[in-house]
Structures are given as C-alpha cells and as structure tokens.
Amino acid sequence: MLAILLLLRYGGELLVETDPLPARAQVAVVLNGSARGMRARTAGALQLLRRGVVNKLIISIPPTTYWGESVPDVAHRYFEKQEGSLTADQILFCVTKADSTLTEAGAIGQCLASRDWREVIIVTSNYHTRRARRIWRAATRRARPPIRVWMDGVADGSFQPRGWWHERIYAKTWLLETTKLAWESIFGLGPWKSRSVKGELVPPANVAAAPR
C-alpha cells in the first residue's frame, strides 16, 4: 500500500526533469510531436524568442504533409500571418523524417552543426523532458567543441505531475512514457542507435526550395 501511495504522489515527477534556463543561448529547438504538443512547445519557444533569451528558433518538422504539401512552406506562411514577418524570419526548420526522439536528436544535431550552434535550449512537453534529456546528453557527449544543452518543459494538456491518475489522458501519457523510460533505463538506447536519418536546415529565405 505504501508503494502505491508513493507512486501516486511522486510517480508523475519521474517523467519531468527540466533545467534552470540561461539568460542567453544561441538557439531554441522545438522537438516534433503531436498537434497538441507542437502548439504548446512552439508557444513556449516563442516566449524565449520574445524575451530575448534566444535569437533563433529551430522547429523539427517532416518534409511534407499527408497530401504532399511542403511543411516548411505551410509553417512559414502560418508564422508570417500569426507573428509577423520579423518573427517569422527568425524561425528555421530542421526538416527530417525522424520517427523517434533518438533519431530526431541525430538529425537536429546535423542542423545545429550547419550553423555551429553550441548553446541550445530544447523545448518539449513536460512529460518528455527526462527521457529527452538523457537522449540529448548522450547524443552530444562526444561533440567537439562541446554542445551545451538545457531542457525546457511545457505543459501541453496531456499530462500534469500532480494528480496524474485523476485524468485518463494524464494516466495514458504516464503509462506510455514510463514504459519508454524504463525500457531505456534497462536496455539503454536499444538496437536502433546505429540508425541515422538526415536533418536539413531550411532558413526562411529557402523555404520554397525545402526538400520534399
């Protein structure tokens, strides 16, 4: 019974591990995710841009939609309309076909290397921070010169650490993410760590020529 009570009280916090953010960093990176997650993550990254913590944003996106539209093109038009051209011109896209946090970290690493960015704030959903932090620390450990990474978690409506068992969506998120975290804690990054995918950085000026 005590173990169950402790799990209910502290189990949600197992998934969350954020860092105190620096006053300044070179770039913030928005990890890809669900539509709900992307809205919250992008909003959090835009706050960093508005506050002057970073000068640039990188958003991880796939090359095309299900219907064949260029995602960078659609995204750039959206930011121009919602945020204005000045802000939209500070947003770059890391175009990749990554299908996991692990392969995404490798692809985004290529995008960062193309600009030699070494101080990076990773913006993701709160429940994803502990696992993403492990993966990113492992992915950048051997970088020379070193890459410094801070993890910034935002609430996207899918999870809250306190009282996570009260809402079905919170419990579902907790179960899925805890399973992934446990798997990686026991077996490491798994047999997929040798797989790599390409990441291509698309600045606003080149959106029309983004890979498809």
How much is the pLDDT for 189? 61
Label residue 212 by pLDDT band (50, 70, 90): low
Residue pair 94/60 in contact by the 8 Å Cβ criterion: yes
Look up residue 179 and give its amino acid: T
**Cα distances (Å, whole numbers) of residue 40 to 76, 97, 157:** 17, 21, 9
Between CA 97 and CA 62 the distance in angstroms is: 6
Between CA 87 and CA 212 the distance in angstroms is: 24
What average pLDDT does the chain have? Answer: 89
pLDDT at residue 91 greater than cutoff 70: yes
pLDDT at residue 137 greater than cutoff 60: yes
Number of independent structural domains in the chain: 1
Residue pair 82/42 in contact by the 8 Å Cβ criterion: no
pTM of the model: 0.91
Q: Which domain range does residue 23 map to? A: 2-209
pLDDT at residue 83 greater than cutoff 70: yes
pLDDT at residue 192 greater than cutoff 80: no
Report the CATH number that the domain containing residue 25 is assigned in CATH. Answer: 3.40.50.620
Look up residue 63 and give its amino acid: P
Residue pair 159/12 in contact by the 8 Å Cβ criterion: yes
Question: Beta strand 119-125 with 91-96: parallel, antiparallel or unpaired?
Answer: unpaired
Does residue 145 have a cis bond before it (omega within 30 degrees)?
yes
Residue pair 91/76 in contact by the 8 Å Cβ criterion: yes
Out of 58-72, 77-91, 190-204, least confident range: 190-204
Contacts of 205 (CB under 8 A, 6+ apart): none
